[in-house]
Chain A
Amino acid sequence: MAQVQLRSVVKKYGSLEVVHGIDLDIADNEFVVLVGPSGCGKSTTLRMIAGLEAISGGEIAIGERVVNDLPPRHRNISMVFQNYALYPHMTVRENLGFSLKIANRPQSEIDRAVEEAANILSLSDYMDRKPGALSGGQRQRVAMGRAIVRHPEVFLFDEPLSNLDAKLRTQMRTEIKKLHQKVQSTIVYVTHDQVEAMTLADRIVIMRDGHIEQVGTPLEVFENPVNTFVATFIGSPPMNLLPATITNGEVAIENGPSVALPSAFEGKVREGQAVILGFRADNLMPRGHSLPMEGQHAAFDMKVNLSEPLGTETLLFSSLAGREVQAKMLNPRPVSPGETLPFQLDLTRCHLFDAASEASLR
């Protein structure tokens, strides 16, 4: 059993506090992804779990054990670093077997474990090469192999794919997911890439400036962002946000059309409240090129400034109330810049955030 618990964990560098008392419960075998913009404290948090950074306050427990003051070697964890950190003076085989050798395991056991890891990650062909003679993807696999050889309770990954090219990244993403199913361990994975987070995670932890903004399954954070930060960070393209005011029970977009108050927000807003209307491109489509909108929806015309055909759909950049909004067009036909189209906005999928606190009003 290897759940990981963070209780009011604080990290200070001198007088500078970079992680502000975060709480997090990670269940056994769970794949949790910490995601957030660069500098938000993801790596620091991960390194505190690993024992590579001292904890300035709070408590970290792995399994049933509080590990605050234990060195990394007593935490039964493995870590994959962003730059792989393979030992350059050792062959792949030695890299993989290093942890077991340090633990003074018998050679036969080391060989067996290394062989097993090599098979799982298809490393067998270059076991006797040094890391310098491997490609980026191969190094990545060796780094993962080194992590699994020891059968740790918890795997920690710090942006392991960020040095790979796009194609390899997608491929390795799948491999990591498969690996998780094979080795059945708790995984804490750090990335700044929300696509990686969405595709890999059982649960996503969205961080900003040393705080946790939201924790939830990929769908939860996508469907119900707690604030505008999460709304724009998760999902691509980012959610459209338009300032508006509640006027006569409707949402009056600043310098733009008024739309009906989405029924989900009835009773949750007051007249005259300054709000932010949020909706994704997937819920704003030209009539005749949209999903059927049976529920509450609004309609208005917009001029298309730019279109990006993606094949099955086309991304449309238009302006509404003086701001750029992105919409999608299904069964696309060519759209010329400047063309005005009738759009439909699915109000059942819209979000309202308080303008001052930026928190969701749901």
Chain B
Amino acid sequence: MNENLKHRIKARILKALHLVALFIAMAIICVPGLWIVLNSFRPTVEIMAKPPVWIPSELNLDNYRAMFGAVGEGGVPVVQYFTNSLIISVTSTVIAILVGMAGGYAFARYRFKGKAGIFIGLMLTRAVPGVSLSLPLFIVMAKTGLIDTHVGLILVYVALNVPFTIWLIDGFFRQVPIELAEAAEIDGCTRWQAFWKVEFPVARAGIASAGIFAFLTSWNEYALASQLTRSTFSKTMPVGLRDFTSEFTINWGGMCALAVLMIIPALILTFIVQKHLIAGLTFGGVKG
């Protein structure tokens, strides 16, 4: 048998093993999500069955119908929760990105007193577990009357996200050569124009990815939101999931249905921004 053939076979086998390993890894990652989607379409009996039923005998939209139905018949104010989540997540993300851009740019471009200290301080805030803040936050919010308001949660999420957006965006602005802004200034831009017309578009991909992270953090956050919201007026979708638990029973099907509604916008957003991420990552202007 010739040697080339041996190597070819070896390469094929390795490739196959590679694909199998990838499949297993993806399956492990995806199964919980798929399980939720599956459960949202079938009755509780089948969900709770032991051993688990993998191939559903019947799929229907009962859980969704009930969820959008009247309160008291398994209905929950989904639209209101969705709106709350959207308002809170979008607003806090926009603010976190604006602050992150200002801060990240300052860290990337300017020298100032205490720069390293401030930066480390910001990063340290990430080391504090969010839940440990719940009681102090609750007290502060209660005193300021921000419990059960959009503003209250928006403030919390901005605070949670800003260190992270600053850190990410700082990294992206560092990759934008300083000469680009200088060239723009020589081409007639003010400092401000140079930023918006050159540095910002070039770092756009990074800023977008920081945006996704901030949005998903706010969109998915449960622990703090469950403390700081009370009523339909401000409850977000993760908190809304708890509406499906009553004293003695848990409506798993309904919970899964709401969870699916939560996942969809996040997925769509990621898909939209992903294109940006790849398209934007071309730093060809400076010698490559």
In the bound assembly, the distance between CA atoms of A260 and B280 in angstroms comes to 71
In the bound assembly, the distance between CA atoms of A79 and B189 in angstroms comes to 14
**Given A85-B177, A87-B180, A89-B201, also A79-B186 (CB < 8 A):** yes
- What 1/0 flags go to A68-82 for Cβ under 8 Å of B? 000111000111010
When the two chains form their complex, are residues B287 and A139 in contact, meaning their CB atoms are under 8 A apart?
Answer: yes
Residue numbers in B under 8 Å from A229 (CB-CB): none
Number of A-B contacts (CB under 8 A): 94
When the two chains form their complex, are residues A88 and B202 in contact, meaning their CB atoms are under 8 A apart?
Answer: yes
Which residue on chain B has the smallest CB distance to residue A98?
B187
**Given A83-B179, A87-B198, A88-B202, also A132-B284 (CB < 8 A):** yes
Q: A152 to chain B: closest CB distance in Å?
A: 9
Q: B198 to chain A: closest CB distance in Å?
A: 6
Partner of B185, one of A72, A86, A132, A133: A72
A-side interface residues, number (CB < 8 Å): 31
When the two chains form their complex, are residues B283 and A84 in contact, meaning their CB atoms are under 8 A apart?
Answer: no
Q: Is A146 an interface residue (CB 8 A)?
A: yes
- What 1/0 flags go to B266-288 for Cβ under 8 Å of A? 00000000000000101111111
Residue numbers in B under 8 Å from A87 (CB-CB): 180, 183-184, 198, 202, 285
Chain B contact residues, CB within 8 Å of chain A? 177, 179-180, 182-191, 193, 197-198, 201-202, 204, 280, 282-288
When the two chains form their complex, are residues A83 and B189 in contact, meaning their CB atoms are under 8 A apart?
Answer: no
When the two chains form their complex, are residues A85 and B179 in contact, meaning their CB atoms are under 8 A apart?
Answer: yes
Residue numbers in B under 8 Å from A170 (CB-CB): none
When the two chains form their complex, are residues A52 and B190 in contact, meaning their CB atoms are under 8 A apart?
Answer: no
**Given A86-B285, A88-B284, A89-B201, also A78-B186 (CB < 8 A):** yes
Residue numbers in A under 8 Å from B189 (CB-CB): 73, 102
Q: Is A99 an interface residue (CB 8 A)?
A: yes
Which residue on chain B has the smallest CB distance to residue A104?
B188
When the two chains form their complex, are residues A73 and B287 in contact, meaning their CB atoms are under 8 A apart?
Answer: no
Residue numbers in B under 8 Å from A78 (CB-CB): 186
Q: Is A50 an interface residue (CB 8 A)?
A: yes
Q: B113 to chain A: closest CB distance in Å?
A: 13
Q: A139 to chain B: closest CB distance in Å?
A: 7
In the bound assembly, the distance between CA atoms of A47 and B185 in angstroms comes to 12
The list of the 9 closest CB pairs from A to B, nearest first, reads A132-B284, A88-B285, A85-B179, A99-B187, A86-B285, A85-B183, A102-B188, A83-B287, A73-B188
In the bound assembly, the distance between CA atoms of A99 and B197 in angstroms comes to 11
In the bound assembly, the distance between CA atoms of A326 and B11 in angstroms comes to 59
Which residue on chain B has the smallest CB distance to residue A132?
B284
In the bound assembly, the distance between CA atoms of A99 and B283 in angstroms comes to 21
In the bound assembly, the distance between CA atoms of A65 and B288 in angstroms comes to 38
Q: Is A163 an interface residue (CB 8 A)?
A: yes
Residue numbers in B under 8 Å from A88 (CB-CB): 180, 202, 282-286
Q: B282 to chain A: closest CB distance in Å?
A: 5
Q: A203 to chain B: closest CB distance in Å?
A: 24
**Given A131-B284, A133-B284, also A73-B179 (CB < 8 A):** no
- What 1/0 flags go to A35-67 for Cβ under 8 Å of B? 000000000000000111000000000000000
Q: A81 to chain B: closest CB distance in Å?
A: 5
Which residue on chain A has the smallest CB distance to residue B191?
A71
Which residue on chain B has the smallest CB distance to residue A162?
B287
Q: A109 to chain B: closest CB distance in Å?
A: 14
Partner of B187, one of A52, A102, A133: A102
In the bound assembly, the distance between CA atoms of A71 and B188 in angstroms comes to 9
Q: Is A249 an interface residue (CB 8 A)?
A: no
**Given A87-B202, A89-B201, A89-B202, also A71-B185 (CB < 8 A):** yes
Selected A-B contacts with CB under 8 Å, 23 pairs: A52-B185, A71-B190, A72-B186, A73-B186, A77-B186, A79-B182, A79-B186, A84-B286, A85-B285, A86-B285, A87-B285, A88-B282, A88-B284, A89-B204, A99-B187, A102-B187, A102-B189, A130-B282, A131-B284, A132-B283, A132-B285, A133-B284, A163-B287
Q: Is A16 an interface residue (CB 8 A)?
A: no
**Given A85-B180, A87-B202, A89-B202, also A99-B285 (CB < 8 A):** no
